[in-house]
Structure 1
Protein backbone atom coordinates (compact mmCIF):
# COMPACT_ATOMS: atom_id res chain seq x y z
CA UNK A 1 0.00 0.00 0.00
CA UNK A 2 2.82 2.41 0.91
CA UNK A 3 4.52 1.85 -2.44
CA UNK A 4 1.25 2.57 -4.26
CA UNK A 5 0.81 5.78 -2.29
CA UNK A 6 4.41 6.77 -3.05
CA UNK A 7 3.90 6.13 -6.77
CA UNK A 8 0.71 8.17 -6.78
CA UNK A 9 2.35 10.97 -4.80
CA UNK A 10 5.23 11.21 -7.27
CA UNK A 11 2.74 11.35 -10.13
CA UNK A 12 0.89 14.26 -8.52
CA UNK A 13 4.10 16.19 -7.81
CA UNK A 14 5.33 15.54 -11.34
CA UNK A 15 2.29 17.16 -13.06
CA UNK A 16 3.97 20.55 -13.47
CA UNK A 17 6.97 18.79 -14.95
CA UNK A 18 5.10 16.76 -17.55
CA UNK A 19 6.34 18.98 -20.38
CA UNK A 20 9.93 18.06 -19.61
CA UNK A 21 9.69 14.29 -20.20
CA UNK A 22 12.98 12.50 -20.53
CA UNK A 23 14.14 12.16 -24.09
CA UNK A 24 16.36 9.24 -23.14
CA UNK A 25 13.23 7.09 -23.24
CA UNK A 26 11.21 6.43 -26.37
CA UNK A 27 7.59 7.43 -26.62
CA UNK A 28 6.71 3.73 -26.65
CA UNK A 29 8.54 3.32 -23.33
CA UNK A 30 6.66 6.23 -21.84
CA UNK A 31 3.34 4.84 -23.04
CA UNK A 32 4.19 1.48 -21.47
CA UNK A 33 5.07 3.16 -18.17
CA UNK A 34 1.79 5.06 -18.28
CA UNK A 35 -0.07 1.80 -18.75
CA UNK A 36 1.66 0.30 -15.72
CA UNK A 37 0.89 3.40 -13.66
CA UNK A 38 -2.75 3.25 -14.75
CA UNK A 39 -2.98 -0.33 -13.43
CA UNK A 40 -1.41 0.73 -10.12
CA UNK A 41 -3.91 3.57 -9.84
CA UNK A 42 -6.78 1.13 -10.30
CA UNK A 43 -5.36 -1.08 -7.53
CA UNK A 44 -5.06 1.91 -5.21
CA UNK A 45 -8.63 2.97 -5.97
CA UNK A 46 -9.90 -0.50 -5.10
CA UNK A 47 -8.02 -0.47 -1.79
CA UNK A 48 -9.42 2.93 -0.87
CA UNK A 49 -12.94 2.03 -1.94
CA UNK A 50 -13.09 -1.10 0.22
CA UNK A 51 -11.80 0.52 3.42
CA UNK A 52 -14.19 0.02 6.28
CA UNK A 53 -12.35 2.10 8.87
CA UNK A 54 -14.37 4.70 10.84
CA UNK A 55 -14.46 7.96 8.98
CA UNK A 56 -13.04 6.18 5.96
CA UNK A 57 -15.84 7.32 3.68
CA UNK A 58 -14.96 10.98 3.94
CA UNK A 59 -11.23 10.45 3.72
CA UNK A 60 -11.54 7.80 1.04
CA UNK A 61 -13.73 10.06 -1.05
CA UNK A 62 -11.11 12.80 -0.88
CA UNK A 63 -8.34 10.35 -1.76
CA UNK A 64 -10.40 8.89 -4.59
CA UNK A 65 -10.94 12.36 -5.98
CA UNK A 66 -7.17 12.86 -6.07
CA UNK A 67 -6.68 9.50 -7.75
CA UNK A 68 -9.44 10.29 -10.27
CA UNK A 69 -7.56 13.50 -11.08
CA UNK A 70 -4.32 11.52 -11.52
CA UNK A 71 -6.12 9.06 -13.78
CA UNK A 72 -7.58 11.86 -15.91
CA UNK A 73 -4.17 13.47 -16.25
CA UNK A 74 -2.63 10.12 -17.14
CA UNK A 75 -5.19 9.60 -19.90
CA UNK A 76 -4.50 13.08 -21.22
CA UNK A 77 -0.74 12.44 -21.26
CA UNK A 78 -1.26 9.09 -22.99
CA UNK A 79 -3.28 10.77 -25.71
CA UNK A 80 -0.65 13.49 -26.08
CA UNK A 81 2.11 10.87 -26.29
CA UNK A 82 0.31 9.06 -29.10
CA UNK A 83 -0.13 12.35 -30.95
CA UNK A 84 3.56 13.19 -30.56
CA UNK A 85 4.58 9.70 -31.68
CA UNK A 86 2.50 10.09 -34.85
CA UNK A 87 4.00 13.52 -35.58
CA UNK A 88 7.55 12.29 -34.95
CA UNK A 89 7.01 9.33 -37.28
CA UNK A 90 5.83 11.74 -39.96
CA UNK A 91 8.93 13.92 -39.52
CA UNK A 92 11.22 10.87 -39.64
CA UNK A 93 9.56 9.54 -42.79
CA UNK A 94 9.68 12.91 -44.55
CA UNK A 95 13.28 13.52 -43.44
CA UNK A 96 14.37 10.09 -44.65
CA UNK A 97 12.78 10.67 -48.04
CA UNK A 98 14.48 14.05 -48.38
CA UNK A 99 17.88 12.59 -47.47
CA UNK A 100 17.37 9.84 -50.03
CA UNK A 101 16.58 12.43 -52.68
CA UNK A 102 19.72 14.41 -51.81
CA UNK A 103 21.86 11.26 -51.99
CA UNK A 104 20.45 10.51 -55.43
CA UNK A 105 21.16 14.03 -56.69
CA UNK A 106 24.69 14.06 -55.29
CA UNK A 107 25.37 10.72 -56.94
CA UNK A 108 24.23 12.14 -60.27
CA UNK A 109 26.80 14.93 -59.89
CA UNK A 110 29.66 12.52 -59.17
CA UNK A 111 31.23 10.80 -62.13
CA UNK A 112 32.29 7.68 -60.22
CA UNK A 113 28.98 7.13 -58.36
CA UNK A 114 26.80 4.15 -59.34
CA UNK A 115 23.16 5.02 -58.68
CA UNK A 116 22.24 1.34 -58.76
CA UNK A 117 24.42 0.70 -55.70
CA UNK A 118 22.95 3.41 -53.50
CA UNK A 119 20.48 1.04 -51.83
CA UNK A 120 17.83 2.14 -49.36
CA UNK A 121 18.41 5.29 -47.36
CA UNK A 122 18.83 4.53 -43.63
CA UNK A 123 15.90 5.78 -41.59
CA UNK A 124 16.47 9.19 -40.05
CA UNK A 125 17.65 8.54 -36.51
CA UNK A 126 19.32 5.27 -37.45
CA UNK A 127 16.46 2.85 -36.71
CA UNK A 128 13.35 1.56 -38.39
CA UNK A 129 9.99 2.98 -37.37
CA UNK A 130 8.38 2.67 -34.92
CA UNK A 131 11.38 1.56 -32.90
CA UNK A 132 13.17 3.79 -30.42
CA UNK A 133 15.50 6.48 -31.74
CA UNK A 134 19.13 5.50 -31.95
CA UNK A 135 21.46 6.61 -29.18
CA UNK A 136 23.56 9.71 -29.93
CA UNK A 137 26.87 9.18 -31.63
CA UNK A 138 29.71 8.57 -29.18
CA UNK A 139 31.29 11.76 -27.91
CA UNK A 140 34.04 12.57 -25.45
CA UNK A 141 33.90 10.89 -22.07
CA UNK A 142 33.92 12.62 -18.74
CA UNK A 143 37.43 12.79 -17.31
CA UNK A 144 38.31 9.63 -15.38
CA UNK A 145 35.11 7.92 -16.45
CA UNK A 146 34.60 4.80 -18.50
CA UNK A 147 30.82 5.13 -18.38
CA UNK A 148 28.39 6.82 -20.78
CA UNK A 149 29.76 9.12 -23.45
CA UNK A 150 29.37 12.90 -23.12
CA UNK A 151 28.29 15.24 -25.88
CA UNK A 152 30.70 17.88 -27.12
CA UNK A 153 30.71 20.76 -24.65
CA UNK A 154 28.67 18.87 -22.03
CA UNK A 155 31.45 18.68 -19.44
CA UNK A 156 32.41 22.33 -19.95
CA UNK A 157 28.83 23.53 -19.57
CA UNK A 158 28.37 21.49 -16.40
CA UNK A 159 31.64 22.77 -14.96
CA UNK A 160 30.58 26.36 -15.63
CA UNK A 161 27.31 25.84 -13.79
CA UNK A 162 29.06 24.10 -10.89
CA UNK A 163 31.60 26.93 -10.66
CA UNK A 164 28.75 29.43 -10.32
CA UNK A 165 27.21 27.32 -7.54
CA UNK A 166 30.51 27.04 -5.67
CA UNK A 167 31.01 30.80 -6.01
CA UNK A 168 27.65 31.50 -4.37
CA UNK A 169 26.08 32.82 -7.59
CA UNK A 170 22.93 30.83 -6.93
CA UNK A 171 20.59 32.44 -9.45
CA UNK A 172 23.17 32.15 -12.21
CA UNK A 173 23.90 28.55 -11.20
CA UNK A 174 20.19 27.65 -11.22
CA UNK A 175 19.80 29.15 -14.69
CA UNK A 176 22.91 27.40 -16.02
CA UNK A 177 21.88 24.02 -14.64
CA UNK A 178 18.37 24.45 -16.05
CA UNK A 179 19.84 25.27 -19.46
CA UNK A 180 22.17 22.28 -19.17
CA UNK A 181 19.25 19.92 -18.49
CA UNK A 182 17.38 21.29 -21.51
CA UNK A 183 20.45 21.06 -23.76
CA UNK A 184 21.50 17.55 -22.70
CA UNK A 185 18.27 15.73 -21.74
CA UNK A 186 18.81 12.15 -20.66
CA UNK A 187 22.57 12.60 -20.50
CA UNK A 188 24.80 10.97 -17.88
CA UNK A 189 25.07 14.25 -15.94
CA UNK A 190 21.47 15.43 -16.24
CA UNK A 191 20.31 13.96 -12.93
CA UNK A 192 23.13 15.69 -11.07
CA UNK A 193 22.34 18.93 -12.90
CA UNK A 194 18.76 18.81 -11.57
CA UNK A 195 20.09 18.02 -8.09
CA UNK A 196 22.54 20.94 -8.09
CA UNK A 197 19.85 23.24 -9.47
CA UNK A 198 17.71 22.23 -6.49
CA UNK A 199 20.58 23.13 -4.16
CA UNK A 200 20.93 26.56 -5.76
CA UNK A 201 17.20 27.21 -5.53
CA UNK A 202 17.14 26.06 -1.90
CA UNK A 203 19.94 28.51 -1.06
CA UNK A 204 17.75 31.30 -2.48
CA UNK A 205 14.75 30.21 -0.43
CA UNK A 206 12.84 28.97 -3.48
CA UNK A 207 11.71 25.86 -1.63
CA UNK A 208 8.86 24.82 -3.94
CA UNK A 209 11.02 25.12 -7.04
CA UNK A 210 13.83 23.32 -5.25
CA UNK A 211 11.51 20.42 -4.42
CA UNK A 212 10.52 20.17 -8.07
CA UNK A 213 14.16 20.16 -9.10
CA UNK A 214 14.88 17.33 -6.65
CA UNK A 215 11.89 15.43 -8.04
CA UNK A 216 13.25 15.86 -11.58
CA UNK A 217 16.67 14.67 -10.40
CA UNK A 218 15.16 11.48 -8.98
CA UNK A 219 12.72 10.91 -11.85
CA UNK A 220 15.40 11.34 -14.52
CA UNK A 221 17.46 8.42 -13.16
CA UNK A 222 15.73 6.48 -10.38
CA UNK A 223 18.57 3.97 -10.02
CA UNK A 224 21.51 6.28 -10.63
CA UNK A 225 24.27 7.43 -8.33
CA UNK A 226 22.43 10.63 -7.35
CA UNK A 227 19.00 9.05 -6.88
CA UNK A 228 19.36 8.46 -3.09
CA UNK A 229 20.47 12.03 -2.42
CA UNK A 230 17.76 13.43 -4.70
CA UNK A 231 15.07 11.38 -2.95
CA UNK A 232 16.31 12.42 0.49
CA UNK A 233 16.50 16.10 -0.52
CA UNK A 234 12.98 15.90 -1.94
CA UNK A 235 11.61 14.40 1.27
CA UNK A 236 13.40 16.94 3.46
CA UNK A 237 12.14 19.84 1.37
CA UNK A 238 8.58 18.50 1.44
CA UNK A 239 8.83 18.45 5.23
CA UNK A 240 9.95 22.09 5.24
CA UNK A 241 6.98 22.94 3.02
CA UNK A 242 4.60 21.42 5.55
CA UNK A 243 3.81 18.32 3.46
CA UNK A 244 4.48 16.02 6.39
CA UNK A 245 2.75 12.87 5.13
CA UNK A 246 4.37 13.06 1.71
CA UNK A 247 7.74 13.85 3.31
CA UNK A 248 7.58 10.83 5.63
CA UNK A 249 6.66 8.46 2.78
CA UNK A 250 9.40 9.85 0.55
CA UNK A 251 12.09 9.70 3.24
CA UNK A 252 11.11 6.12 4.12
CA UNK A 253 11.61 5.14 0.48
CA UNK A 254 15.30 6.11 0.68
CA UNK A 255 16.08 3.17 2.97
CA UNK A 256 13.79 0.82 1.08
CA UNK A 257 15.24 1.57 -2.35
CA UNK A 258 18.86 2.28 -1.40
CA UNK A 259 19.64 0.47 1.88
CA UNK A 260 23.41 0.87 1.43
CA UNK A 261 23.38 4.57 0.50
CA UNK A 262 24.82 7.24 2.79
CA UNK A 263 21.59 9.20 2.39
CA UNK A 264 19.72 6.59 4.45
CA UNK A 265 21.05 7.96 7.73
CA UNK A 266 20.24 11.51 6.66
CA UNK A 267 16.72 10.40 5.76
CA UNK A 268 16.21 8.76 9.15
CA UNK A 269 17.42 11.88 10.92
CA UNK A 270 15.03 13.97 8.84
CA UNK A 271 12.15 11.62 9.68
CA UNK A 272 12.94 12.06 13.38
CA UNK A 273 12.94 15.86 13.04
CA UNK A 274 9.61 15.83 11.21
CA UNK A 275 8.08 13.41 13.68
CA UNK A 276 7.33 10.56 11.29
CA UNK A 277 5.84 7.44 12.87
Structure 2
Protein backbone atom coordinates (compact mmCIF):
# COMPACT_ATOMS: atom_id res chain seq x y z
CA UNK A 1 0.00 0.00 0.00
CA UNK A 2 1.41 3.43 -0.96
CA UNK A 3 1.40 6.21 1.52
CA UNK A 4 1.90 9.90 0.72
CA UNK A 5 3.01 11.73 3.86
CA UNK A 6 2.55 15.49 3.92
CA UNK A 7 2.38 17.95 6.77
CA UNK A 8 -1.28 18.59 7.52
CA UNK A 9 -1.01 22.31 7.90
CA UNK A 10 0.93 22.79 4.65
CA UNK A 11 -1.56 20.64 2.69
CA UNK A 12 -4.54 22.59 4.05
CA UNK A 13 -2.95 25.94 3.23
CA UNK A 14 -1.96 24.90 -0.27
CA UNK A 15 -5.37 23.41 -1.11
CA UNK A 16 -7.13 26.52 0.22
CA UNK A 17 -4.83 28.87 -1.63
CA UNK A 18 -5.09 27.03 -4.91
CA UNK A 19 -8.40 28.50 -6.13
CA UNK A 20 -7.48 31.92 -4.94
CA UNK A 21 -4.17 31.77 -6.77
CA UNK A 22 -5.76 30.58 -9.94
CA UNK A 23 -8.40 33.32 -9.80
CA UNK A 24 -6.05 36.10 -8.77
CA UNK A 25 -6.05 38.76 -11.45
CA UNK A 26 -2.67 39.21 -12.98
CA UNK A 27 -3.31 42.77 -14.17
CA UNK A 28 -0.92 44.32 -11.67
CA UNK A 29 2.65 44.16 -12.74
CA UNK A 30 4.94 41.87 -10.71
CA UNK A 31 8.64 41.83 -10.54
CA UNK A 32 10.51 38.82 -11.74
CA UNK A 33 11.10 37.42 -8.23
CA UNK A 34 7.44 37.53 -7.21
CA UNK A 35 6.47 35.98 -10.52
CA UNK A 36 8.81 33.07 -10.02
CA UNK A 37 7.48 32.58 -6.50
CA UNK A 38 3.90 32.43 -7.76
CA UNK A 39 4.89 29.99 -10.47
CA UNK A 40 6.52 27.72 -7.93
CA UNK A 41 3.44 27.82 -5.70
CA UNK A 42 1.18 27.03 -8.65
CA UNK A 43 3.43 24.13 -9.63
CA UNK A 44 3.31 22.74 -6.07
CA UNK A 45 -0.47 23.07 -6.02
CA UNK A 46 -0.79 21.25 -9.34
CA UNK A 47 1.46 18.44 -8.09
CA UNK A 48 -0.53 18.15 -4.84
CA UNK A 49 -3.81 18.03 -6.76
CA UNK A 50 -2.42 15.35 -9.05
CA UNK A 51 -1.30 13.28 -6.07
CA UNK A 52 -4.64 13.62 -4.26
CA UNK A 53 -6.76 12.90 -7.34
CA UNK A 54 -4.53 10.01 -8.40
CA UNK A 55 -4.86 8.45 -4.95
CA UNK A 56 -8.64 8.96 -5.04
CA UNK A 57 -8.99 7.42 -8.51
CA UNK A 58 -6.90 4.41 -7.59
CA UNK A 59 -8.72 3.91 -4.27
CA UNK A 60 -5.53 4.39 -2.28
CA UNK A 61 -6.06 6.71 0.70
CA UNK A 62 -3.71 9.58 1.18
CA UNK A 63 -2.23 9.36 4.63
CA UNK A 64 -1.36 12.65 6.17
CA UNK A 65 1.10 12.26 8.99
CA UNK A 66 1.71 15.14 11.32
CA UNK A 67 5.29 16.30 11.54
CA UNK A 68 5.32 15.94 15.32
CA UNK A 69 8.83 15.36 16.59
CA UNK A 70 7.72 15.09 20.24
CA UNK A 71 5.17 12.40 19.45
CA UNK A 72 7.77 10.40 17.57
CA UNK A 73 10.23 10.79 20.43
CA UNK A 74 7.60 9.58 22.90
CA UNK A 75 6.81 6.60 20.68
CA UNK A 76 10.51 5.83 20.40
CA UNK A 77 10.92 6.12 24.18
CA UNK A 78 7.96 3.77 24.69
CA UNK A 79 9.50 1.21 22.38
CA UNK A 80 12.82 1.48 24.15
CA UNK A 81 11.03 0.95 27.48
CA UNK A 82 9.34 -2.17 26.10
CA UNK A 83 12.68 -3.46 24.90
CA UNK A 84 14.21 -2.83 28.35
CA UNK A 85 11.40 -4.73 30.06
CA UNK A 86 11.82 -7.62 27.63
CA UNK A 87 15.57 -7.60 28.29
CA UNK A 88 14.98 -7.68 32.06
CA UNK A 89 12.63 -10.63 31.71
CA UNK A 90 15.17 -12.43 29.57
CA UNK A 91 17.89 -11.73 32.13
CA UNK A 92 15.66 -13.08 34.92
CA UNK A 93 14.91 -16.23 32.95
CA UNK A 94 18.61 -16.65 32.22
CA UNK A 95 19.51 -16.31 35.91
CA UNK A 96 16.84 -18.86 36.86
CA UNK A 97 18.07 -21.29 34.23
CA UNK A 98 21.66 -20.80 35.41
CA UNK A 99 20.69 -21.50 39.03
CA UNK A 100 18.75 -24.61 38.06
CA UNK A 101 21.71 -25.79 36.00
CA UNK A 102 24.04 -25.33 38.99
CA UNK A 103 21.67 -27.28 41.23
CA UNK A 104 21.42 -30.06 38.65
CA UNK A 105 25.21 -30.20 38.41
CA UNK A 106 25.57 -30.50 42.19
CA UNK A 107 22.91 -33.21 42.36
CA UNK A 108 24.58 -35.04 39.50
CA UNK A 109 27.93 -34.90 41.30
CA UNK A 110 26.39 -36.24 44.52
CA UNK A 111 24.63 -39.00 42.61
CA UNK A 112 27.86 -39.98 40.89
CA UNK A 113 29.58 -40.16 44.29
CA UNK A 114 26.82 -42.43 45.62
CA UNK A 115 27.01 -44.66 42.58
CA UNK A 116 30.78 -44.92 42.97
CA UNK A 117 30.48 -45.76 46.68
CA UNK A 118 27.89 -48.44 45.89
CA UNK A 119 30.09 -49.86 43.16
CA UNK A 120 33.02 -50.00 45.59
CA UNK A 121 30.91 -51.84 48.17
CA UNK A 122 29.71 -54.31 45.56
CA UNK A 123 33.27 -54.91 44.42
CA UNK A 124 34.39 -55.49 48.01
CA UNK A 125 31.47 -57.87 48.57
CA UNK A 126 32.38 -59.81 45.45
CA UNK A 127 35.99 -60.11 46.61
CA UNK A 128 34.86 -61.28 50.02
CA UNK A 129 32.52 -63.87 48.51
CA UNK A 130 35.34 -65.13 46.35
CA UNK A 131 37.52 -65.78 49.41
CA UNK A 132 37.31 -69.22 51.02
CA UNK A 133 35.28 -69.34 54.23
CA UNK A 134 37.27 -69.35 57.48
CA UNK A 135 37.49 -72.61 59.41
CA UNK A 136 34.79 -73.09 62.03
CA UNK A 137 35.67 -72.01 65.51
CA UNK A 138 35.79 -74.64 68.22
CA UNK A 139 32.62 -74.77 70.30
CA UNK A 140 32.70 -72.80 73.50
CA UNK A 141 31.88 -74.81 76.54
CA UNK A 142 28.93 -73.47 78.42
CA UNK A 143 29.65 -72.10 81.85
CA UNK A 144 28.23 -74.12 84.66
CA UNK A 145 24.84 -72.88 85.84
CA UNK A 146 24.91 -70.79 88.98
CA UNK A 147 23.40 -72.27 92.09
CA UNK A 148 20.21 -70.93 93.64
CA UNK A 149 22.19 -69.33 96.44
CA UNK A 150 24.49 -67.54 93.97
CA UNK A 151 21.57 -66.34 91.85
CA UNK A 152 19.74 -65.00 94.93
CA UNK A 153 22.90 -63.29 96.21
CA UNK A 154 23.49 -61.60 92.84
CA UNK A 155 19.93 -60.28 92.75
CA UNK A 156 20.22 -58.90 96.29
CA UNK A 157 23.50 -57.13 95.47
CA UNK A 158 21.89 -55.46 92.48
CA UNK A 159 19.03 -54.21 94.63
CA UNK A 160 21.30 -52.94 97.39
CA UNK A 161 23.36 -51.05 94.78
CA UNK A 162 20.21 -49.23 93.62
CA UNK A 163 20.00 -50.89 90.22
CA UNK A 164 16.32 -51.76 90.57
CA UNK A 165 15.78 -52.58 86.91
CA UNK A 166 18.53 -55.19 86.92
CA UNK A 167 17.38 -56.46 90.32
CA UNK A 168 13.82 -56.85 89.02
CA UNK A 169 15.05 -59.00 86.15
CA UNK A 170 17.32 -61.00 88.45
CA UNK A 171 14.58 -61.83 90.98
CA UNK A 172 12.09 -62.63 88.18
CA UNK A 173 14.68 -64.98 86.68
CA UNK A 174 15.27 -66.61 90.06
CA UNK A 175 11.55 -67.27 90.58
CA UNK A 176 11.30 -68.78 87.11
CA UNK A 177 14.47 -70.88 87.47
CA UNK A 178 13.86 -72.03 91.04
CA UNK A 179 10.08 -72.08 91.64
CA UNK A 180 10.37 -74.55 94.56
CA UNK A 181 13.57 -73.31 96.21
CA UNK A 182 13.56 -72.44 99.88
CA UNK A 183 14.19 -68.75 99.20
CA UNK A 184 11.68 -68.40 96.36
CA UNK A 185 8.98 -66.74 98.58
CA UNK A 186 11.55 -64.20 99.75
CA UNK A 187 12.62 -63.64 96.13
CA UNK A 188 8.97 -62.88 95.33
CA UNK A 189 8.93 -60.38 98.18
CA UNK A 190 12.00 -58.53 96.88
CA UNK A 191 10.70 -58.80 93.34
CA UNK A 192 7.52 -57.05 94.52
CA UNK A 193 9.67 -54.30 96.03
CA UNK A 194 11.32 -53.58 92.66
CA UNK A 195 7.92 -53.52 90.96
CA UNK A 196 6.60 -51.07 93.54
CA UNK A 197 9.52 -48.74 92.86
CA UNK A 198 8.52 -48.34 89.23
CA UNK A 199 4.78 -48.14 90.01
CA UNK A 200 3.72 -51.54 88.65
CA UNK A 201 1.28 -52.01 91.54
CA UNK A 202 -0.79 -54.82 90.02
CA UNK A 203 2.28 -56.97 89.33
CA UNK A 204 3.70 -56.05 92.72
CA UNK A 205 0.49 -57.20 94.48
CA UNK A 206 0.73 -60.55 92.66
CA UNK A 207 4.33 -60.94 93.78
CA UNK A 208 3.47 -60.11 97.41
CA UNK A 209 0.57 -62.59 97.43
CA UNK A 210 2.94 -65.30 96.23
CA UNK A 211 5.43 -64.34 98.94
CA UNK A 212 3.00 -64.54 101.90
CA UNK A 213 1.16 -67.64 100.72
CA UNK A 214 1.01 -69.86 103.83
CA UNK A 215 1.83 -66.90 106.10
CA UNK A 216 5.49 -67.80 106.64
CA UNK A 217 7.05 -66.88 109.97
CA UNK A 218 9.99 -64.89 108.68
CA UNK A 219 11.40 -61.42 109.33
CA UNK A 220 10.26 -60.07 105.97
CA UNK A 221 6.70 -61.53 105.98
CA UNK A 222 5.00 -58.74 108.04
CA UNK A 223 6.46 -56.10 105.74
CA UNK A 224 5.26 -58.08 102.70
CA UNK A 225 1.69 -57.92 104.11
CA UNK A 226 1.95 -54.15 104.56
CA UNK A 227 3.35 -53.75 101.00
CA UNK A 228 0.44 -55.80 99.67
CA UNK A 229 -2.02 -53.50 101.46
CA UNK A 230 -0.29 -50.41 100.06
CA UNK A 231 -0.44 -51.85 96.53
CA UNK A 232 -4.18 -52.47 96.98
CA UNK A 233 -4.65 -48.86 98.10
CA UNK A 234 -2.80 -47.70 94.99
CA UNK A 235 -5.08 -49.91 92.91
CA UNK A 236 -8.10 -48.19 94.56
CA UNK A 237 -9.20 -51.30 96.46
CA UNK A 238 -9.43 -49.94 100.01
CA UNK A 239 -11.71 -52.71 101.29
CA UNK A 240 -9.21 -55.40 100.26
CA UNK A 241 -6.40 -53.32 101.77
CA UNK A 242 -8.26 -53.10 105.12
CA UNK A 243 -8.90 -56.86 105.12
CA UNK A 244 -5.19 -57.49 104.46
CA UNK A 245 -4.17 -55.20 107.33
CA UNK A 246 -6.61 -57.01 109.62
CA UNK A 247 -4.84 -60.30 108.78
CA UNK A 248 -1.55 -58.62 109.65
CA UNK A 249 -2.72 -58.19 113.26
CA UNK A 250 -3.89 -61.78 113.49
CA UNK A 251 -0.97 -63.48 111.70
CA UNK A 252 1.82 -61.23 113.03
CA UNK A 253 0.63 -59.72 116.32
CA UNK A 254 4.04 -58.26 117.19
CA UNK A 255 5.54 -56.82 113.98
CA UNK A 256 8.62 -54.54 114.11
CA UNK A 257 7.92 -50.93 115.04
CA UNK A 258 8.69 -49.65 111.56
CA UNK A 259 6.29 -52.16 110.03
CA UNK A 260 3.56 -51.26 112.56
CA UNK A 261 3.99 -47.56 111.78
CA UNK A 262 3.72 -48.14 108.03
CA UNK A 263 0.64 -50.35 108.62
CA UNK A 264 -1.05 -47.54 110.56
CA UNK A 265 -0.37 -45.13 107.70
CA UNK A 266 -1.87 -47.62 105.24
CA UNK A 267 -4.98 -47.96 107.40
CA UNK A 268 -5.39 -44.17 107.31
CA UNK A 269 -5.01 -44.11 103.54
CA UNK A 270 -7.55 -46.91 103.12
CA UNK A 271 -9.89 -45.26 105.67
CA UNK A 272 -10.28 -48.50 107.56
CA UNK A 273 -12.89 -48.60 110.35
TM-score range, shorter chain: 0.3 to 0.5
TM-score (norm 2): 0.43
- The structure that has the greater radius of gyration is 2
What TM-score comes out, normalization by structure 1 length?
Answer: 0.42
Larger RCO, structure (CA 8 Å, separation 6 or more): 1
